[in-house]
Structures are given as C-alpha cells and as structure tokens.
Structure 1
Amino acid sequence: MRKNLHLLRGVLAAGVLTVATLPAAMAASITTVLSFDDLADGVLPAGYGGLDWSTAGWTAFSIPAAPYSAHSGTGRVTTGFMADDASSAIRFAQMTTFDGAFFAGQGGAVLSFELYLGGQKVHSSATLDPSAAPSFLASGYAGLVDMVQVKSVNHGEFVMDDFTFTQAVPEPHSYALLLAGLLAVGVATRRQQSR
C-alpha cells in the first residue's frame, strides 16, 4: 500500500509538472490579416485564408467604387444585397481569437459582429456605421471563437477589408516537453514495479 502511494505521488508530480508547463510552451501565436488583394473579382473561394466562407455568399472585387473604399491595397469583399445575417457566417478551422476588420460603405448600414464557440453566442461587438473612410470594427472579445457572423442593417451596402484573427500555434519544444513528462511518468512507474 505504501509503495502504491509513493508511486501515485511520483506519477502525479510528473504529470502536474508536464501539464503546468505546457500552456507557457504553447504561447506562440500567428496573427493573420486577410487583405483580399490576392483574389480575382468574383465569388470568394469557400476555403480562402483557411476559413469556411461557403455559407456567406461573399464577393471579392478590386475596382475603385466610392464609398466602398479598401483599407489597404485594392481588394475587399462584400455580401449579397439585403442578405440575411445568418448568410454572413465565417467559420474558422480551429478555435481562434478574432480581432476585427475594416469596413467602408453607405451610412446607415450599421455593422456589428456576433462571435460563436461550439454553436453558442459568446459575444456581440460594438456597432459601426460605415462611411467612405475605412474604419476598424474591433470584436472586443479576447476569448476563443470558431465562427464570426457579420451583422448589418443593410447587407450589400458595405465592404470588408483586412479581416484579422490570431491562432495559437504549438511550438516544437512543447511536444518535446510533453514527451519528456510522459517518459518521466513511465520511468517512475517502471522503477516502482521493479521494486
């Protein structure tokens, strides 16, 4: 009984050490800004930027057209005129922190974001009434999401540019740390069994 208790303490200590150090090791992240400048005019590809745009009906264009100004470069995207909010959903392949995007367009198209995780709404952003000068609409949420819905009073009356999100990326040494912790647990278990 005493041996088993000692073994259990050793295994727990090694496991706790491994789990406690993993979040710090996995703290690297990649911020992605989709500028849409690399797209041909037309329907946005469903997997553009590693995201699922398939339900959204977004269209890319680069021809100058006031008040639908690009924030950077010439590319930007828009939704179908008077589309419903649900058709503007953008899904991430993995859980992500969504930062926001730039918008320009007709005044009165009042925009906002609704953020979702696992099908549950976790946050609604502030609102933005667009103009010809592109303005950034921040998500206002630092947690993880897997879907963003762009809401507007008048879909098709705005353009979106520089869609920005941040994904956590495990660093190679985090896998080595996990393996070392598991090996330590295995060695401790083996020693106890051989005694």
Structure 2
Amino acid sequence: MNTHHILRATLTLATCSLSALAISPSANAFTVVTFDDLTGDNFLVPDGYGGIQWDNNWIYYGFEQNPYTPESIPNRIYGNYDKWNGPSSIPFYFASPVIFDGSYFAGSDSSFPVSFSLYNGGTLQATSASLTPSATPTFLSSGYTGLVDEVRVNWNNGSTVLDNVTYHTAAVPEPTSLIGLLGLGAFGVTSKFKRQQKQQVHC
C-alpha cells in the first residue's frame, strides 16, 4: 500500500467519524424541571414528570404565598404531608444516573438550612453545602459532578418550597478534540510509512 492509499483510507475514516458527529444529538444538555405546565393546586407531582420518579413524595401548587416564592411562575413543590412532616429527608429518583446540578429554594425557616444528599446505587456519594432559605428564591448547587440516581432534600418540610430542579447527562468528548485525535492518527500513519520507505531505500 503506497502513501496515497494510506492517506485516502485515513481521510475516509475521518470523514465517517465527522459525519457521525454531525448527526449525533447534542450531549450534556441541561434539563430544568419547572412544574409550571402542571394544572391545579395541591396535587401530587406525577411519576415520570421531567424525567424523574417522584414516588408520591411531592406536591405542587401555584397560588401566591409569601415567602414561598417560585423561581418561575406559577408552580413550586413541597413534601407530601401524609408521608413527611417537619424535619425530613425527602427523595426523588432518576431511572438512569445523571449529574444533578441543584434547585431553587424559598421559605421562612431561617433556623433550618436545606441541603442535598446524593446517592448512586444506594450508596451516598456526596452531601451539598447548606442554604438558609428566604423569600427570595436562591439556587443551591449540588457541588458534585459525578453520577447519581437519587437525591434527598434535607429540610424542614412545611417551611420551605423547591423549584426548578436542574440536571444534565454525562458529557461526551468535544468534536474539536476528536478532530485533533483523528489528525494525529493520520500524521502518525503517514510518518510511519515514510520511515519504512526510507529504510527500504538504504537497504
């Protein structure tokens, strides 16, 4: 096989790889679960809503109620009083592990900060920093970039609300990085072939 054939094969591989990238869906897309398209007040958040299993643990509502301010109007959620009342650690679940970014909180209990406990496969992976809620919705970051399939909200249920749950899928290599790798591969193949030709000439 001569240099022309090797370069042609390498460029064909690069073209196929770039074509695959072109039709691949965008990775690392963020999902923000706002609850704002749910209708009515004080109903259970349906399982599967926003790609999350709520397990009858969460209730949404949309009427005005200071200091329980939504980040996006009108809806926000709180823990189901029939299952959780007072200091609680209330979970929601993902069917497949994701990177959980955080959510907004607002409330009245400055003596009871909120935090997240993050699990994967039933094992605690991380615990977030804590946030003291106020009437101004404030984002609490998970502070963890690994995969999780369960998030537990640690708070005083009844004195705080939750809104705009945010998560994303794991990242894939950037297209520019793959192009660079393909270029290095082509260079390596060509250089090796030239060295082999040079050795044959001097034999």
Length-normalised TM-score, structure 2? 0.66
What is the percent sequence identity of the aligned residues? 39
Instruction: Tell me, yes or no, if the aligned pair for 1:109 and 1:155 is still in contact at 8 Å.
Output: no
2:115 maps to which of 112, 117, 121: 112
Alignment of 1:25-36 (within 5 A): 28-36=27-35
2:86, 2:57 → 1: CA distance?
Answer: 9
| Contact 2:101/2:168 (8 A) holds in 1 | yes
In structure 2, give the amino acid aligned to 1:35.
Answer: T
Is 1:70 the equivalent of 2:70?
yes
Amino acid at match of 1:37: D
CA contact (8 A) 1:44 1:53 kept: yes
Within-5 A mapping of 1:40-119: 40=39, 41=41, 42-54=43-55, 57-81=57-81, 82=85, 85-86=88-89, 88-107=90-109, 108-119=111-122
> Higher RCO, 1 or 2 (CA under 8 Å, sep at least 6)?
1
C-alpha displacement of 1:85: 3.2
How many residues are treated as equivalent by the alignment?
146
Q: CA deviation at 1:47?
A: 1.7
Tell me, in whole angstroms, the C-alpha distance in 2 between the residues paired with 1:59 and 1:44: 5
Runs of 4+ displaced beyond 6 Å: none
The offset of 1:80, in angstroms, is: 3.3
Who is 2:159 aligned against? 157
For the pair 1:131 / 2:140, whether they are aligned, the reply is no
Query: Larger radius of gyration, structure 1 or 2?
Result: 2
TM-score if structure 1 supplies the norm length?
0.68
> Structure 1, unaligned stretches of length 5 or more?
1-20, 172-195
For residues 149-180 of structure 1, the C-alpha deviation after alignment (integer angstroms, 9 at most, x for no partner) is: 0001x112111111000023889xxxxxxxxx
Inter-partner Cα distance in structure 1 for 2:28 and 2:96: 13
Distance 1:169 1:123, change over 3 A: closer
Q: Residue type matched to 1:64 in 2?
A: E
Q: CA RMSD in A?
A: 2.4
Contact (CA 8 Å) 2:118, 2:124: kept in 1 or not? yes
SS at match of 2:50: helix
